[in-house]
Amino acid sequence: MGMESILSLCGGLALFLYGMHMMSDGLEAVAGEKMKQILEKLTSSTIKGVLVGTLITAIIQSSSATTVMLVGFVNSGLMALENTVGVIMGANIGTTMTGILMSIGISDIAPLIAIAGVCLIMFTKDEKKNNLGIVIAGLGILFLGMNMMSDAMRGMRDNQTFINLITTLRNPILGVLVGTVFTALIQSSSASIGILQALAMAGLVTLDNGIYVMFGFAIGTCVTAVIASIGANANAKRVTFIHLAFNVIGTVAFVILCQFIPYVQFFQNMFPNSPEAQIANAFLVFKVVTTVMLVPFTKQLVDLSRKVVKDTEEAVDKRPSISDRAVSISGYHFGAAAIAISLIREEVNYMYDIAKKNVEMAFDAVLENTDKYDAAIDKNEDELDRLNSEVSQYISSILGQISTVDSDVISGYFRIVGNIERIGDHATNFADYTKFFLSRKERLSDRAQAEVVEMKKVTLDSMSLLEGDRRDDAATMLVSVAKAEQEIDDITDNYRNAQMDRMKTTTCSPEASVVYAEMLTDFERIGDHLLNIAEEFARMYPSK
């Protein structure tokens, strides 16, 4: 095999892997944040999970990418371990699609597929069509790479050393080991099957001496998920274990099965003139039968993973930072944007709850004229400052690595985080006013107290409008918050006028009047920040 053939082989493999990467990125951009919602809705049962996993992996042609996504979701606490099992099984079926398409001659029109995708990328301004073009172009490039590999390997037909090597692979243990190591190196069972088919099309391999290597591909593809789970929590590692256990059990079962039934001969008889079809269909049946065999044992697989991967001693008194719970987005793996946005949304909701608690305690401090809430308010304010810094830094670190649509959403959350932090500051201001009254041994007049009671009620009612997941009715929420903000403005004007009347009748001391005016300003500013959040949310999630 000359240098030209070696370069052609390496170039073909590079095109294949790059095409797969394009398909993954294209689907990520199309689905983006919706990926988690899709998985949540469609993985309520193992069978649904199998279908979802099959479909996603059939599109992106990488069970490794799908499994890494699941590791990320579970590590981030965004998906239950039990819901991943069906998706893992389906991913192993979906990864056979490349081989099936290759066996029916799709590679013959690979240039046309690539051209169609490039046309969508170059000549459409619509981002969704553009991303769809990336998926299609990636598919075409993938098969162009497959054709290059097949052509490069034809020259090895007369290489006796290579032929002798292939012959030794009839040994089950050696064949599985070679398949495992090879796929672990290139981290793609789809690429491995493609290379095996290319060898078969070049007349270098038959299903007889390639069957055990093919079984080894299933184990080798688990390496990517194993790498992704390093440093992740126990549940994320369990996802990897389930993926590995599924493929090891299937491989062992089929190696034994091949000793007693004519598995190879069945496909050779069914597709006598197409060695690539023999390989593709033997791999498909291997994956489907393994899935059917293990679906009834989903619970047992989860229980086994918990026994093998023990829970670690983790601190429960401190909430893990967003960076600790996030799988690194480096390399832009499939599902990364969904993980990032879900984590940010969760952290924003957590911050909002803290801010609301501080607002309530701050009003109570003024009404009760006490400093008993100071320690709790200060602790919450420190937590808000910490979260504001952490979330802002996390957002800054990922903005340049995701699609335009998703980056717009994340930028919106960046601005929302700032508004929540400012609400917390106004709550702290309120609590500080109590210190003034205590130091002067004064308190608000009964009339002013009654006004503060109404301010507290209106503020908390307004803040409640932004609680929960309101993505589907953000526009309606904006209308409600805008109305509440106008009510806060009207109340502020009325209470300022009432305060002026009290000052004229000397009901309030001048110092207390100044402090009360500042309270009204903080009250009004909280309303402004609530409206800012609602407007940002409505912009991020416009009505369909």
Per-domain boundaries in the chain: 3-308, 330-540
Mean pLDDT value across the chain: 84
Identify which has the larger pLDDT, 242 or 323: 242
Check residue 315 and give its pLDDT. 44
Closest by CA to 60, choosing from 86, 85, 33, 35, is 35
Rounded to an integer, the average pLDDT of 183-187 is 79
Check residue 324 and give its pLDDT. 65
Check residue 330 and give its pLDDT. 44
Regarding pTM above 0.85, the answer is: no
Rounded to an integer, the average pLDDT of 409-414 is 90
Residue 480 has pLDDT above 80, yes or no: yes
pLDDT band at 501 (very low <50, low <70, confident <90, very high): confident
Question: Any alpha helices (H) in 160-206, and if so which ranges?
Answer: 160-168, 172-186, 189-201
Check residue 89 and give its pLDDT. 93
Angstrom distances, CA of residue 232 to CA of 83, 124, 220, 377, 535: 18, 40, 20, 33, 36
pLDDT band at 329 (very low <50, low <70, confident <90, very high): very low
What class is the 330-540 domain? Answer: mainly alpha
Residue 244 has pLDDT above 90, yes or no: yes
pLDDT band at 31 (very low <50, low <70, confident <90, very high): low
Q: Tens digits of per-residue pLDDT, 348-365?
A: 999 999 999 999 999 999
Rounded to an integer, the average pLDDT of 286-299 is 93
Q: Tens digits of per-residue pLDDT, 228-239?
A: 777 777 888 899
197-206, 223-232, 469-478 — most confident range: 469-478
Residue 278 has pLDDT above 60, yes or no: yes
User: Collapsing DSSP states into helix, strand and coil, what is residue 443?
Assistant: coil
492's tokens: 């502020």
Check residue 331 and give its pLDDT. 45
Residue 158 has pLDDT above 70, yes or no: no
Closest by CA to 29, choosing from 118, 116, 128, is 128
